[in-house]
């Protein structure tokens, strides 16, 4: 059996798991760089996914804790999707991906890791970014550190 070492994961594995909602708690902190928050709008914010599928994987979430898209106000929803659009423009400029996956997992049975606070995912994609590793080993290789991706995206929004 071959091993892929990911020593940075031990910090996550051993840390105390916080209660509450990270999509509510992180914007309340004055630690945008540490929390990978890239942009703060009036109703929504853009943050990097701490466990990305690819470099530049972003989350867009309303500040208000609500589980469903249909529960957003018109102002929240309009700004939310404006930030989706802005995120695509910035990611095209910075990372030059060949495409994107954009979506929301609404409800635990739909795969939502945070099922009670609506948010959208923007995942940049490149030709060949999915190869045999996920299929054979059930492991995803992400070729860029979060801090490095954050530095490239910081200030672009």
121 is catalytic: no
Q: Cα(124)–Cα(81) distance, rounded to whole angstroms?
A: 17
Given the residues 57, 80, 119, 121, select the one marked as catalytic: 119
> Helix 146-153 and helix 74-95: axis angle, to 10°?
100
Give the side-chain half-sphere CA count within 13 A for 115: 7
CA dihedral of residues 25, 31, 37, 107 (deg, nearest 10): -20
Q: Which residues are catalytic?
A: 119
């Amino acid at each position: 059996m071959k091993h892929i070492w990911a020593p940075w994961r031990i910090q996550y594995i051993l840390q105390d798991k916080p209660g509450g909602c990270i999509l509510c708690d992180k914007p309340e902190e004055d630690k945008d760089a540490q929390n990978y928050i890239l942009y703060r709008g009036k109703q929504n914010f853009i943050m990097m996914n701490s466990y990305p599928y690819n470099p530049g994987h972003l989350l867009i979430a309303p500040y208000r804790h609500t589980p469903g898209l249909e529960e957003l106000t018109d102002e929240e929803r309009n700004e939310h999707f404006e930030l989706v659009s802005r995120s695509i423009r910035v990611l095209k400029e910075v990372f030059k991906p060949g495409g994107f996956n954009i979506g929301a997992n609404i409800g635990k049975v739909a795969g939502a890791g945070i099922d009670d606070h609506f948010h959208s995912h923007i995942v940049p994609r490149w030709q060949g970014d999915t190869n045999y590793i996920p299929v054979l080993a059930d492991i995803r290789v992400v070729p860029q550190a979060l801090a490095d991706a954050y530095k490239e995206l910081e200030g672009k929004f």
